[in-house]
Structure 1
Amino acid sequence: MQHDPNAPWGADNPLPPRRSGLELIWEGKYDACGRRRGPSLPPFPVTLRRREVVDPPPDAPARPMSGVFRNRLIRGDNKLAMAALLPEFRGRVNLVYIDPPFAAGADFRADVALGEDPAIIRKARSAPEAIAYRDAWGTGADSYPQMMYERLVLIRELLSPDGSLYIHCDWRANAMLRLICDEIFGVECFQREIIWRIGWVSGYKAAAANWIRNHDTILFYTRDPTRFTFNKEYLPYPPGYRRRDGSPPRGPGYPLEDTWNCSEMDRLDSIQIKSFSREKVGYETQKNEALLRRIIRASSNEGDLVADFFCGSGTTLAVAEELGRRWIGCDIGRHALHIARKRLIDRQRSLTAKGSPCQPFDTFDLEDAERCWWFSHRLSASEENYRRTLLEHLGATPLASSPVQSESGEEKPLPGSGVLHGQRGDELVHIAPPGARFSRADLEQALAAARGRGGNRLVCLAWEFEPDLARRAEWHGNARLLVIPPEAMEPNRREVVFFEPGWLDVEICWRAPFCADVRLTGFRPCLPERGDPELRARAAEAPFDLLDFWAIDFEHDPDIALFRHRWQSYRTRNNRRLVLESDRGYTYVGPGQRTVAVKAVDVFGMETVALVRLGL
């Protein structure tokens, strides 16, 4: 009997046969008519906006590839990012490795250090990425399988005919993910369940009154069960090894099994139990480069395209770059992408120093697609819902906007109506529209409205501010700017931290006519509105201690939002020194008007930009 997808299912209209005989069911998987839901995506095209261009060092050798492929590092919801990639990359990704959250319901944090002090501090909950991806897809037992189902459907569309997928998980999610993958890919496309022993056991884990839990699971699926890349790997025979009959060994070694790090010959301990590991970048769920090196070598070839849509600190991408693969990475966390960007720039430099080729990469975001989708899908395109949601996160109440009657009985609008939207104590609140960049003119309008209302203090909420606007707001004395964080869009989010934008002071150092460098002379980092007093004191006394990275675009075009890295300085876990004056000696060709853009990123991944206009 033929199934009619537009009619309710039932005895006369059965669902089509499933790819597997066993199915995992969760709330929301099927619609009211019994139709299986696909990924929930915006009704409008989702596109990627290129934000940064990061080329290799000028002396880097070129990699011989057919054409120049620019690797991609994307910040945003990976579901929307994959939807944006589909038109160009459908069926073209050779290998996907993902290490998604394990349905743990926990906050994943990163460690940060201040200044040149190597001592690590635990990032406070007030930091934006302290809660970067916890419950970003909701809460409850049904949200995790739905989140993963949607993304795995899109991953399958992106995989090439000979492509492979590796999913890193643990006991909390492996059974669920196995059933979901069996349904999406087919049971026949399951290849292996790899057991990765984490390493030696000590401390609280050893005290458990049970079998000691000490492994993760890596599920290996392919797009086609008979056609996939696999380069078999071997462990070398130990020195002096002989066969039972005394003859020398044949072949390259012991073939790797599906249990890893289970013998002295196969040491692959997690770096999370190695406090001395130089690989560590301070990211809580960071995985070993050796682990990713094994997977990428086995299931891809040089020049192939590797993707990681939960890329975190960028381990997959750094290893792919080292092994001559092209790559695409995505993560929702601002701090994660900041760590990954530094790591990839550092990998470009280290490969260049070795005389090895490396590829350029660009950073992207989803422009305002996430905000527009949130506004239309979750808030029903209602400005009232939009403002009420943000006011609740801020701890403010809506401002009365109904007209008042004058003594003559005439109705008059309240001063500031339409510009002022809320009140928190003695502060009046203005909320910028979801797709707007808050400008100097917007600030002046909001200040005028506040004065007309008799208010002494003003708070302006926006997703993005013009460069250096925070300084102007402070100059007014009674105005404060707060950046709306992406966490405000998460369902069931009870706590949202707003950040005060910072500013940056720079001066041009002329080495010769038309030859320039940049010196940083002042910095105010972005700080949480209600942050740690000790952190604020440190920021006031030694603001550059909170600076983690800065870069220069000597030929910036202010009409487009594209930053071209032409010089960078940054701190790493192993080298805390940060220079405050560039040594590029950038030479301009001929006279004319130029704009220098300087981007500073603090320890929380928040960016501050300064623009300097030159007349040469």
Structure 2
Amino acid sequence: MIKTPDHNTLFYGDNLTILREHIADESVDLIYLDPPFNSNASYNVLFKAPGGEQSQSQIEAFDDTWEWGEVAERAFDEVMISGNTDAAEMLRAMRGFLKENAMMAYLAMMAVRLIELHRVLKPTGSLYLHCDPTASHYLKILLDAVFGPVHFSSEIIWRRTSSHNSAKRWGPVHDTILAYSKSEHFIWNDVFQTYDDSYLDRFYRFEDEKGRFRIGDLTGAGTRTGDSGKPWRDIDPTDAGRHWAVPTAIIARLGLNGTFDQLSVQSKLDRLNELGLIYWPPKGRVPQFKRYLEADRGVRIQDMVTDIAPISSQAQERLGYPTQKPLALLERIIAASSNPGDVVLDPFCGCGTTVHAAQKMERRWIGIDVTHLAIGLVKRRLIDAFPTAQFDIVGVPKDLGAAEALAEADKHQFQLWALSVVEAQPYKGGRKGADGGVDGYIYFKPDGKTTEKAVVSIKGGKNVGVTMIRDLIATIERDKAKVGIMLSLAEPTREMKKEAAAAGLYKTGMHGDFPRIQILTIADLFDGDRPRLPWVDASVFRKAKRENIRGENKTDQGDLEL
């Protein structure tokens, strides 16, 4: 029987497999996903090198989805036999229209996952799918088929950039977030956003000794024969076809409850007047209610999000991932559609903004990603922001034996995992093939200005020798790197250590000297050892700001696996 994790958990692996094997039916309260798509390379980049070159490590993990092939055909067939006839018929119709191409492969991959996400969502749950306009219309059709058109909630437009110069078309400045519920009984909390300056200038035009305020009606349409229809201070609302309507919701927020509710309408108006909450216009006789700015909660969230700016290159929140979404955007979604203690799931967690926001807002969370690089970066982000937080990581090696097993089973994934441990950027996005002796790079700034690099070479075999060190020395000289780092599964030989020492030191001046060639074993990494380098470059990886949250777990973090 599938049991959803009780603890906050990061999963490495294909989210389809993780969902089927680890997430139980109707166990998740809120799902947010931002699935990658190859329509715009910059939309999918996890991070960039200091020189601007893009890492395609995230795209690499989804290579099979960009062209129609065996994987896409299998995903399509699984939808056909899923039992969801609406989704099957819709996907079949899309294939008839689009034929077998990159978009259709992507939609087949998404359809089978949306069916699983619908399964794990509670009846009171909601799903938010973040996408760009290239695929949003197709995804909306799929969501209609999986969730039902009646459960469509909102199409949210987020202005992700202020302007974009494009020839012969409107500047593309927005993303789309499609919101659906599992049923009509879904969690919804009123969330308010602050007013912008133009709104305040337009409506909060009045001010007195208590502060800035706007005016609102004290009467409602239609006449009444009861207390609300009687005159007050020689003003008879019936003459104007109206009745007195005291704004009870605002009154409650002001704390005027209890005996106030038992007063007649006229006595309530007297009390409001005594408190200075009634505005008497200089012309005319009909009084109005004062709504002070400080007592107003703002405007309820709208489906056009323009008050949450994208993360600028200089923002403190920026960690170095071009597709990083603002925490404020995820916090707004989580606040609206979940409650403290609820389970939030992100099946494409990328750089971890969703799980960061969930941790901060005292929700339980599950994050899934198919790249070791992403899992490593999310782990670092969480430890930086929440030093005492506890979470599990599933699917990555936790000891030397597991690392050896991974190296034997999949050399390529072993390399990507090892690179993630030392927070190195994979060479050529971690793609398979000839690498010229380079598996990855670590960037650093010894003087705080000039970006330098260290070459990382991974050796996952059982046999190592001094020739590998000589090759590494030649590689760093060819690449004009300052340091060469070998990560070896096997113990280095005495000759290897001697050759590495003979390569000399990299001298930085103010930061001291560092071995030009460094050898670390995988066992060393499990012991906590890391490459010795001066000041890792903040433009690639920045340290997440520590969050101070109410009710933060104060227990020891324990052993977090690599």
Q: TM-score range by the shorter chain?
A: 0.5 to 0.7
Match 1:172 to one of 101, 109, 134: 134
Q: Which has the higher strand share?
A: 1
How far off its partner does 1:278 sit? 1.4
Tell me: CA distance 1:85–1:223, structure 2 relative to 1, closer, same or farther (3 Å): same
> Residues of 2 paired with 1:499 and 1:307: CA distance?
39
Counterpart CA distance in 2 for 1:121 and 1:308 is: 30
- Picking from 94, 100, 106, the partner of 1:144 is 106
User: Could you say what the CA RMSD is over the residues aligned between the two structures, in angstroms?
Assistant: 4.9
Deviation at 1:92, TM superposition (A): 0.8
Please list the CA deviations of residues 31-55 of structure 1 after superposition, one character each: whole Å capped at 9, or x if unmatched: xxxxxxxxxxxxxx9999xxxxxxx
Alpha-carbon distance change, 209 to 151 in structure 1, aligned in 2, over 3 angstroms: same
Counterpart position of 2:479:
534
* Aligned match for 1:573, one of 515, 527, 538: 538
What per-residue deviation string (whole Å, max 9, x for no partner) do you get for residues 277-307 of structure 1?
1111222211000000000011000000001
Going by fraction, where is helix more abundant, 1 or 2? Answer: 2
Aligned counterpart, 1:363: 393
State the Cα distance separating 1:539 from its structure 2 match.
2.4
Report the secondary structure of 1:91's partner residue: coil
Runs of 4+ residues deviating >6 angstroms: 45-48, 498-502, 528-532, 543-547, 549-554, 563-570, 574-578
Change (3 A) 1:94 1:182: same
Report deviation, 1:121: 3.5
Residue 74 and residue 498 in structure 1: after superposition, are their counterparts in 2 closer, same or farther (change >3 A)? farther
Q: Does 1:70 align with 2:115?
A: no
- Report how far residue 179 of structure 1 moved: 0.5
AA aligned opposite 1:230: W
Q: Distance in 1 between matches of 2:434 and 2:143?
A: 34
The structural deviation recorded for 1:567 is: 12
Distance verdict in 2 for CA 1:72–1:497, change over 3 Å: farther
SS at match of 1:268: coil
Tell me, yes or no, if the aligned pair for 2:30 and 2:343 is still in contact at 8 Å.
Answer: yes
Alignment length (residue pairs)? 356
Q: Which residue of 2 aligns with 1:189?
A: 151
State the partner residue of 1:525: 456
Q: Report the equivalent of 2:298.
A: 253
Q: Do structure 1's residue 109 and structure 2's residue 74 form an aligned pair? A: no
Tell me how far apart the structure 1 counterparts of residues 150 and 481 of structure 2 sit (CA, whole Å).
57
Contact 2:318 2:542 in 1 (8 A): no
Match of 1:82 among 3, 16, 19: 19
Correspondent of 1:309 among 326, 347, 372: 347
Q: Distance in 1 between matches of 2:161 and 2:19?
A: 34
Structure 1 residues 598, 322: CA separation in 2 closer, same or farther (over 3 Å shift)?
closer
Return the letter of the residue paired with 1:154.
E
Distance 1:299 1:243 in 2: 32
1:513 — aligned with what?
none
Unaligned residue ranges in structure 2 (runs of 5+): 69-100, 201-210, 217-287, 398-403, 419-426, 441-453, 460-470, 486-504, 507-513, 544-558
Identify if the C-alpha distance between structure 1 residues 230 and 324 changes in structure 2 by more than 3 Å, giving closer, same or farther: same
Amino acid at match of 1:243: I
TM score, norm. by length of structure 2: 0.53
Aligned match of 1:276: 314
Taking structure 1 as the reference length, the TM-score comes to 0.49
Q: SS state of the match for residue 133, structure 2?
A: coil
Contact 1:124 1:130 (C-alpha < 8 Å) held by counterparts: no
Change (3 A) 1:248 1:175: same
Question: Which runs of structure 2 are paired with 1:478-557 in the superposition (5 Å)?
Answer: 525-526=456-457, 533-534=478-479, 538-539=483-484
The CA distance in 2 between the partners of 1:47 and 1:70, in whole Å, is 12
Q: Distance in 1 between matches of 2:120 and 2:19?
A: 8
Relative distance call for 1:539 and 1:200 in structure 2 (3 A) is same
The 8 Å contact of residues 46 and 57 in structure 2, kept in 1 or not, is answered as no
Per the TM alignment, residue 535 of structure 1 is displaced from its structure 2 partner at its CA by 6.3
Counterpart for residue 206 of structure 1: 165
Structure 1 residues 230 and 438, CA gap change in structure 2 (3 angstroms): closer
Q: Deviations over 1:293-335 (max 9, x none)?
A: 0000110000000010010000000110000000000111222
The structure with the larger Rg is: 2
Q: How big is each residue's C-alpha offset from its partner over 1:82-107, in whole Å with a ceiling of 9 and x where there is no partner? A: 11123xx3211000000011351637
- In structure 1, stretches of 5+ residues that fail to align are 1-44, 49-67, 114-119, 262-266, 353-357, 368-434, 443-459, 469-482, 489-494, 503-522, 555-562, 579-596, 600-606, 608-616
Match of 2:357, SS?
helix
Assess if the C-alpha contact under 8 Å between 1:111 and 1:123 holds in 2: no
The answer to whether the 8 Å contact 1:487/1:496 transfers is: no
Shift of 1:251: 5.3
CA distance in 2 between counterparts of 1:338 and 1:228 reads: 34
Measured against aligned partners, the alpha-carbon deviations of 1:389-446 in whole angstroms (never above 9, x if no partner) come to: xxxxxxxxxxxxxxxxxxxxxxxxxxxxxxxxxxxxxxxxxxxxxx95568xx9xxxx
